Structure 1
């Protein structure tokens, strides 16, 4: 790369985009990288403040910003993502499907700690829609040493930094529990909430039963749904520590492997997560899921629908950010709930 007076640069090759900004009208490149400067271009370049211009000189020890950005893209992009064309050293990734966006935050930190290169992404662990912006990456200097991109490769390794896991169209079984509902003392207002949340992810309730607080019946109903092919079973109600609350015992007796009974999230502390044969989730949903705007169920449901296992460590980590502030206008997931 060589700096020249603009008037002397006719016939030379631009090594970067030249941006023109007209407030309220335009912001974009007036000339693109690789453009051969003509005599008629000189007044235009001077009008955008370019009294001097960088022209390209080949150097095997350095990379142009766009070429280096392409290396960053290779380190970041995985399936179900599309990439923009490099422009001024920047590339953006966009979702090609609805799914769960996941970032390896430790390796992302190592990359950004190198300096002269940067990658920024939306928060990991949340649902995205097709067309959503996922990440952006940029090279800071116009020209970067090739050794810096090699250091980036070493920091990231061969596995891409980001994953987008498509959502599955699950068939879900719902076991509604509680004497008050079973005997008709109150209306079942829990099941409609569950159906609505499932529909947000393209899933449907294929089995439903209402039972009293008999743990043997709850166990039998959940197991029957699993035998008939349910991809997930949700048991609603009966999740507290009252003597009549038998749902946790019923789920344990299905034979499913319990990940955790309880989570450091409010609302949703009494949530229970287990996995039956075939890694099919069996969940006990506390009553707050019925009336609170957002709960622990909203944090884990994208993982369950994507088929990404939820671990006890992940649940424990929700303690940092796991307090919903119950805002008068809910903006979830564009808020701090569930984000460390």
Structure 2
């Protein structure tokens, strides 16, 4: 650092906070360490009693924290994201639409493993609203080696395959069908309290319910209804009940017999172990699309949060779930059924 006259400070980088005291009004930093002095700042600095300043000298091969933060921001920022201005080596990203946040963990680790720089994000595979904070970047020192930033950038891009570390997938308008199963409901022995839960959860995503049928424990009827709903344009078909191992529980067989590709029957999540997820390829007029078919266990009807709450946002964003991703939900897959539910601001569903 070097000492200069304040009147000559335009473009210089402050080495420390500049505090201004106004008796009875305030005592605070008027400029922070790392601030780049503008022409308009000079009268303010003089009024704060700063006729001289300690500033950083430009060194070959070194980057100012804000310039380095721009590199981290570029590595992180995907589509549908707004960014803040760089300040003290920090840049924040926020969502510009409702959607599903995806985080490339390998790219995140690549950057954070270099030291003197960091990226902190919210957990991936969860829904976010427009305006939600997604991530923040920070350069730790005031100045950082340009070579270190170059290496971090190369390492991150190698880990992500050249893609941004963060991706925001907008939610897509979906059409859905609901198939309620069970002799007890079909024959009017009990009231259907399952379907209203599904309708409410789908309403949060603006889903259009195009069909709803109720069947007894007849797998052939359920299979036919799944295929019929998809033919009518359903992007999602949800089958409620019939997911256990009792003789009358035939929903898994019904889904399998549609020809759908079953991702998994069973998930390491409580509540929701007997969940089934499948994808059905649909060919229409020379084009093809994929419909998600889900078999929901009874816990979805009465538990506040279940496996359905973890998978539904991904389905709504056309983010296909793999068997490996379902298996990874084991760590964090136990809902603690807290007296006051704070989901998604809790550990439920936040696996490795």
Structures share fold, TM-score greater than 0.5: yes
Alignment match, 1:4: 3
Alignment match, 1:331: 342
Consecutive aligned runs of 4 or more in structure 1 exceeding 3 Å deviation: 16-22, 24-32, 36-40, 57-60
Alignment match, 2:187: 183
Question: 1:152: Cα distance to partner?
Answer: 1.5
2:30 corresponds to 1:34: no
Normalised by the size of structure 1, how large is the TM-score? 0.92
Alignment match, 2:319: 308
Distance (Å, rounded) in 2 between the aligned partners of 1:69 and 1:93: 12
CA RMSD of aligned residues (A): 2.2
For 2:48, what is the secondary structure of its paired residue? helix
Structure 2 CA distance for partners of 1:45 and 1:276, relative to 1, 3 Å: farther
Which range is displaced more, 274-283 or 243-252? 274-283
| 2:239 counterpart (235, 238, 252) | 235
Which structure 2 residues correspond to residues 1-340 of structure 1 after superposition, within 5 A?
2-4=1-3, 8-13=5-10, 14-16=12-14, 18=17, 29-30=30-31, 32-36=35-39, 38=42, 41-42=45-46, 44=48, 53-55=54-56, 57-157=57-157, 158-277=162-281, 278-340=289-351
Question: 1:20: Cα distance to partner?
Answer: 5.3
Q: Deviations over 1:130-185 (max 9, x none)?
A: 00000000111111111011011111112110000000110001000001111111
Q: Deviations over 1:262-301 (max 9, x none)?
A: 0010000000000001221100000000000000000111
Question: 1:34: Cα distance to partner?
Answer: 3.0
Distance (Å, rounded) in 2 between the aligned partners of 1:45 and 1:73: 36
Distance (Å, rounded) in 2 between the aligned partners of 1:151 and 1:190: 54
Q: Deviations over 1:26-69 (max 9, x none)?
A: 977537413256476246266xxx996224x4444111111111
The answer for unaligned runs of 5 or more in structure 2 is 282-288
CA contact under 8 A between 1:195 and 1:204: conserved in structure 2?
no
For 1:91, what is the secondary structure of its paired residue? strand
Structure 2 CA distance for partners of 1:270 and 1:26, relative to 1, 3 Å: farther
CA contact under 8 A between 2:9 and 2:37: conserved in structure 1?
no
Distance (Å, rounded) in 2 between the aligned partners of 1:181 and 1:25: 68
Normalised by the size of structure 2, how large is the TM-score? 0.89
For 1:335, what is the secondary structure of its paired residue? coil
